[in-house]
Amino acid sequence: MTACLLQGDRACAEGAIAAGCRFFAGYPITPATEIAEALSRRLPQVGGKFIQMEDEIASMAAVIGASLGGAKAMTATSGPGFSLMQENIGYAVMAEIPCVIVDVQRLGPSTGRPTSPSQGDVMQARWGTHGDHPIIALAPSSVREAFDLTVQAFNFSERYRTPVILLMDEVIGHMRESVELPDPGTIERVDRPQTTVPPEWYKPYEISSSDVPPLVPFGDGYRYHVTGLHHDEHGYPTENPAEVQAWLARFFRKIERSLSDVLLYDEDGVDDAETLVIAYGATVRSARHAVEAARERGRKVGLLKLKTIWPFPEEVVEHAGARLHHVVVAELNRGQIALEVERVLGRHKVRRVGRADGEMVQPGEVLQAIEDWAIL
């Protein structure tokens, strides 16, 4: 273990290096710029490439190209830039191109308040690009988790051949904590599977038992077609409903069948709780303080910390909250994850503690919601 004082954005950059990231394209934007700054120095040290693009649209396009060339690739941005990236994120989703997109959320809409925290991009991460599609999005609540979940984002991306979104927020991105980073040799690094068939047999979107066909890097002697249109197993556009449906079923199945791997969360005191608090990202820190204070008052309160936001952990939330009548959801928005919790458990069970004014949810606000439930 290596102990150091580290900022969340820089922990993200170090996590990317540890995961094998060797290409970054991005455009400066608060509060994500420190990720680009760190990688502009670190990538050349490990034989990687850093490039500052003219805007976020081009940044995402460059990341797609680098990944098709065989590199583990990443970009980092905040809300306004994330909005600009959506069309190319959709292309990466459709073409099943592994890459990592870091969104260090700030207050919006539009330019909002660039240095104020928010968790307002939760639904955009899920539905920002059009059409039905699966997506994986992770949310760290500490500097160490910024490192760990960046590594995990790359591993999920390579394992399931999909874009993965790391939903940081300004608080986690800019805070500094003393952390112990793992030794490089102990870090799991997943590399995309390679094909064992000759070029003439290769199908970049083949339906197989794994549901994740190998993606051969461009330039390795395998010629194949990549398009944002619905495509057959060879990658060529098709309007044949049978081919489209077969691809679509595999496209969703590769994530749905792997939820036990993808869904990351921590539970604390959930089994005997009378009230459940659900939080993610920076709001976990306030929620934990509130839960501890409530327990000191004799309340039976559990904490469910979500690390995976998408796919939404429906069964986890249902199991944790099904027998309870009191659930508090704390987040830095007007209720984006609360909507999902209400969908699973029912609106009558859920009390929202949200802020969208650029200020942190305070432990006292969460504690008050717990106490309000207790006296009903």
pLDDT tens, position by position, 252-286:
999 999 999 999 999 999 999 999 999 999 999 99
Rounded to an integer, what distance in angstroms lies between the CA atom of residue 46 and that of residue 273? 48
Indicate whether 2 pLDDT > 80: no
Confidence of residue 322 (pLDDT cuts 50, 70, 90): confident
Domain 267-374 adopts which CATH fold?
Rossmann fold (3.40.50)
pLDDT at 373 over 90: no
Is the Cβ–Cβ distance between 277 and 363 less than 8 Å?
Answer: no
H-only helix segments in 20-138: 33-45, 56-68, 79-95, 122-127
Q: Which of 21-30, 36-45, 115-124, 193-202 shows the lowest per-residue confidence on average (mean pLDDT)?
A: 193-202
| Domain 2-186 grouped into CATH 3.40.50.970 | yes
- The whole-number pLDDT of residue 372 equals 87
Backbone angles phi, psi at 275, to 5 degrees: -130, 140
- Fold: same for 2-186 and 267-374: yes
pLDDT at 193: 86
pLDDT band for position 19 (cuts 50, 70, 90): very high
Please tell me the predicted confidence (pLDDT) of residue 374: 64
- The residue extents of the domains of the chain are 2-186, 267-374
The per-residue pLDDT for 170 is 98
Check residue 95 and give its pLDDT.
98
pTM for the whole thing? 0.97
Residue 288 confidence (pLDDT): 98
Work out the average pLDDT over 128-133.
96
Q: Measuring CA to CA, which residue among 57, 129, 122 is closest to residue 94?
A: 129
pLDDT at 351: 96
pLDDT category, 130, cuts 50, 70, 90?
A: very high
Query: What does the pLDDT look like over 336-355, one tens digit per residue?
Result: 999 999 999 999 999 999 99
Look at residue 208 in the predicted model and tell me its pLDDT: 86
- How far is 144 from 177, CA to CA, in rounded Å? 8
pLDDT tens digits for range 158-196: 999 999 999 999 999 999 999 999 998 899 999 998 899
Arithmetic mean of pLDDT, 211-237: 95
Provide CB contacts within 8 A for 36, sequence distance 6+: 24, 26, 28, 50, 52, 76
Mean pLDDT, rounded, of the chain: 96
For the packed helices 79-95 and 56-68, what is the interaxial angle rounded to 10 degrees? Answer: 30
Pick the residue with more confidence: 119 or 193? 119
What's the pLDDT at 323?
87
- Encode pLDDT of 234-256 as tens digits: 999 999 999 999 999 999 999 99
Among candidate residues 366, 360, 350, 236, the one with its CA nearest the CA of residue 292: 366
Give the contacts of 69 (CB within 8 A, at least 6 positions apart).
217, 218, 219
* Rounded Cα–Cα distance for residues 283 and 288 (Å): 9
Mean pLDDT of 19-24: 98
In the chain, the percentage of residues whose pLDDT exceeds 90 is 94
Q: Residue 109 has what pLDDT?
A: 96
> What pLDDT sits at residue 1?
65
Report the share of the chain in percent with pLDDT over 70. Answer: 98
Distance (Å, whole) CA 182 – CA 178? 13
Question: How far is the CA of 310 from the CAs of 167, 225, 230, 239, 256, in angstroms?
Answer: 10, 29, 23, 29, 11
Task: Determine the pLDDT at residue 376.
Answer: 56
Residue 14: name the closest of 143, 147, 103, 142 by CA: 147
